[in-house]
Chains A and B, each alone.
Chain A
């Protein structure tokens, strides 16, 4: 009898203890919160805000490095620096072979593009090209119309390397080939230059595909341009649109096609 009486008492005690323990723990937690954990919570909140800010910043930076650039490429002495100063500063300059790249803003209406003039010398052109190719929205390739027959292999090699580059294939949609120096007597017309280049690139893609493997780990950057089985044509390079225009870089009058193209690009 005493045991059964004790049991309900004990059960009640146990229940009360439980209730008390729960209450106690909650009270304990609140009291703990107010002393030590407050610091921890502060730190956690600060880190969270910092992360959010970083993510926003990263989004902003990524969007600001959107492609806004136009690259001026071409062989040495083809007239890139002259064209560059005409477009961006509207002046004629006396120029020598460039050693460093130069850049300037070209405004058309409300929008502006950054024009990069890449030196044409064989030793530095590819390193400088690699530096700015991810900022490129369009490429202007300047060709010396009077010496095209002599230089066709070099021109084609540079143009081919520029076009089959991975970054260019993914980002650049428009390429303008400017047949410069039309004021010279031996200058060829744009359609002829286009045909000559197409024939040359046709041969070039075969030899480039059969090139030796490189000694480093990097893979060959020799994509096959155009369509297999058919002769190479620039129209096969969809979605990249390649156009040919004629121009004289000296003087401000013959630059119409180039400015139109830039307007369309911006």
Chain B
């Protein structure tokens, strides 16, 4: 059922492949290329299945010999054995061809067909057996009910205690309580015994707390259980139900008066009472709350204020400097490096998960400390761990340094743009086709869209391009005036006399309250007719969970199809960046009627001068969207616009 299977080196050579049907090779190679471009190179190791058209692909990387095992099958079949199958094939293949792989002889014929067929048959027969078994019902331990506490299952209705537990469950409840007792005793003993590890103590405490809470619940309910007998309960409910039926029968159309419901408060219609205002009827003398001249000399002390005589005289003179405790620099790594060097002298070491996990956890905390969003730091470290599983490190390398190097490489790969970033060249291209180059700015409130728009305008007019600004922020008071002020300033810096009589910057606005996408469309038409080179569209800031505003933004983007949709995000943002970008992208994709909706094409990272080296927001944003950081804003004057330097940012992150 697998259409295609291939063993590929990381250098790009296909060592061995198996095609189930004829002419699968070309389509499969295309699919594999797409898989590599999207998954392997974008550090998204988590998602397992990649779908390309009608094909689904699953891959497994062998880090020891730098091989990639890819299985291709039809998307509609949901094969469950592929993961284990990949691992089995990996084991077989590396065992059969170990020598050739180690020496790098990739050009020999690899005869793997028979083993492949054997393993495939094994895997398929195993799934058939699993499928043929009738699904056994869950045991009590597996069910959700056993995990609930007894207290949560008691339904209180109008003050009566209705219990639905059977006596068998009562017994199991008791046995569970005994287990809990034992566990808590055991954990308490552990707690007393181990004083060194704080984490374990805390964990044990939590366990004790939880189990004691469960214990308490069970203790509360056990007397209740003991009191009520099962048969009585059923009779009581039966009786009540019979009552209800009689009531229903006797009064067919009467209002369903429930004796248990409290009587509704009847509306007593009184005469019309005059409204009493808070400050009504009072004049200015009553409203004067200032303290009178006579009272100002004597001020009332707070009743709880006790004067502390010892403080007097301590702050005389200059205010003392802040106590700067130097952070402990990470000099520990050097000593660790020494020991790992000595350990590494023994020989080439294969990395296992146990070796790598403590280092990865420390690095994850370090990244979170540098303002990377926490789940992204987790995903990054997980993908680094996957890359290192089974890898052989050289004699003089330590585990820590290898992990750090791999993480640095991953970060560099993440931040490096995946496409050519040359705005000026693209503007020239658009000019040759006779249309203006449009750039739209979107983001939440207060991130710096208008300021950075002005900076980009300055850069463009410095390069002799005529810019039109479309004021599509029709909501915020002063937005249009702000852009008008910028326009005046920029035109003063580059007056028309210097540029053959052309105004370099023009503001297209239609006041407040109008539809933003209409204004943008008119602006682009105006720019085309009057030979403007670039149109910059400024939109209103909006929260990512504001549904109508997100719809309006999606409509603007869909109607006007800008060449570059820039998401402006501030560098100070932390975990919030993930939420903002995910919701913005989703809104742009969902509310668009096109087959291939236009999503965020680039990121502008603003307020970069406010963070010293906590540059993690750059990582979070590029990870979520996969799009490059096009500009960086580093201040509020026109020249504070920069390009991303990947090496510098990664160095700042990893220090």
Most B CB within 10 A of own CB, among A81, A91, A97: A97
B40: chain A residues at CB < 8 Å are: 99
CA of A99 to CA of B425, assembled, Å: 29
B12: chain A residues at CB < 8 Å are: 81, 95-99, 102, 117, 119
In the complex, identify which listed stretch (B183-191, B549-557, B641-649) lies at the interface while the others stay far away. Answer: B641-649
In the complex, identify which listed stretch (B29-37, B72-80, B492-500) lies at the interface while the others stay far away. Answer: B29-37
CA of A94 to CA of B651, assembled, Å: 38
CA of A100 to CA of B13, assembled, Å: 11
CA of A214 to CA of B631, assembled, Å: 9
A85-B107, A93-B14 known; A213+B424 contact, CB < 8 A: no
- A157 near B413 with CB under 8 A, answer no
A153: chain B residues at CB < 8 Å are: 420, 422, 425, 429
- A215 near B632 with CB under 8 A, answer yes
A212: chain B residues at CB < 8 Å are: 459, 631, 641-643
A126: chain B residues at CB < 8 Å are: 416
A207 at the interface (CB under 8 A from B): yes
- A100 near B14 with CB under 8 A, answer no
- B649 near A216 with CB under 8 A, answer yes
- B11 near A117 with CB under 8 A, answer yes
A124-B41, A210-B424 known; A95+B641 contact, CB < 8 A: no
B412 at the interface (CB under 8 A from A): yes
B597 at the interface (CB under 8 A from A): no
CA of A94 to CA of B107, assembled, Å: 11
- B647 near A216 with CB under 8 A, answer yes
Q: How far is the CB of A102 from chain B (nearest CB, A)?
A: 4
Q: Residue of B at shortest CB range from A101? A: B11
- B107 near A215 with CB under 8 A, answer no
**Which of these, A85, A204, A214, contacts B645 with CB under 8 Å?**
A214
For chain B, residues 415 to 440, give those with C-beta under 8 angstroms from any C-beta of chain A: 416-420, 422, 424-425, 428-429
- A96 near B33 with CB under 8 A, answer yes
A217-B648, A218-B648 known; A127+B33 contact, CB < 8 A: no
CA of A121 to CA of B34, assembled, Å: 12
A96: chain B residues at CB < 8 Å are: 8, 12, 14, 29, 32-33, 36
A94-B29, A99-B12 known; A127+B416 contact, CB < 8 A: yes
Q: Residue of B at shortest CB range from A211? A: B643
Q: Residue of A at shortest CB range from B17? A: A94
B420: chain A residues at CB < 8 Å are: 122, 153-154, 157
For chain A, residues 88 to 110, give those with C-beta under 8 angstroms from any C-beta of chain B: 89, 91, 93-102
CA of A12 to CA of B155, assembled, Å: 128
A227 at the interface (CB under 8 A from B): no
B262 at the interface (CB under 8 A from A): no
- A81 near B14 with CB under 8 A, answer no
Q: Residue of A at shortest CB range from B70? A: A96
A203 at the interface (CB under 8 A from B): yes
A102: chain B residues at CB < 8 Å are: 9, 11-12
B409 at the interface (CB under 8 A from A): yes
CA of A98 to CA of B33, assembled, Å: 9
A77: chain B residues at CB < 8 Å are: 33
B219 at the interface (CB under 8 A from A): no
CA of A163 to CA of B37, assembled, Å: 26
- A123 near B422 with CB under 8 A, answer no
- A204 near B13 with CB under 8 A, answer no
- A100 near B10 with CB under 8 A, answer yes
B17: chain A residues at CB < 8 Å are: 94
CA of A93 to CA of B643, assembled, Å: 40
- A216 near B645 with CB under 8 A, answer yes
CA of A210 to CA of B11, assembled, Å: 36
- A215 near B643 with CB under 8 A, answer yes
B66 at the interface (CB under 8 A from A): yes
- A207 near B648 with CB under 8 A, answer no
B634 at the interface (CB under 8 A from A): yes
B631: chain A residues at CB < 8 Å are: 212
Q: How far is the CB of B148 from chain A (nearest CB, A)?
A: 49
**Which of these, A91, A95, A213, contacts B14 with CB under 8 Å?**
A95
For chain B, residues 301 to 342, give those with C-beta under 8 angstroms from any C-beta of chain A: none
For chain B, residues 2 to 34, give those with C-beta under 8 angstroms from any C-beta of chain A: 8-14, 17, 25, 29, 32-33
Contact mask for chain A residues 107-136; partner B; CB cutoff 8 A; 1 contact, 0 none:
000000000010101111011000000000
For chain B, residues 623 to 655, give those with C-beta under 8 angstroms from any C-beta of chain A: 631-632, 634, 641-645, 647-649, 651
- A207 near B14 with CB under 8 A, answer no
A214: chain B residues at CB < 8 Å are: 642-645, 648
Chain A contact residues, CB within 8 Å of chain B: 76-77, 81, 85, 89, 91, 93-102, 117, 119, 121-124, 126-127, 153-154, 157, 203-204, 206-208, 210-218
- CB-CB nearest 7 A-B residue pairs: A216-B648, A98-B12, A216-B645, A102-B11, A207-B424, A214-B645, A100-B10
Residue pairs across A and B with Cβ atoms less than 8 A apart, 14 shown, are: A77-B33, A93-B13, A94-B13, A94-B25, A96-B14, A96-B32, A97-B37, A124-B413, A127-B413, A127-B416, A157-B420, A207-B425, A214-B643, A215-B649
Q: Beyond A127-B412, A153-B420: 15 further Cβ-contacts under 8 Å?
A: A96-B8, A96-B14, A96-B32, A99-B68, A102-B9, A117-B11, A124-B413, A126-B416, A203-B425, A204-B422, A212-B459, A212-B643, A213-B643, A214-B644, A216-B647
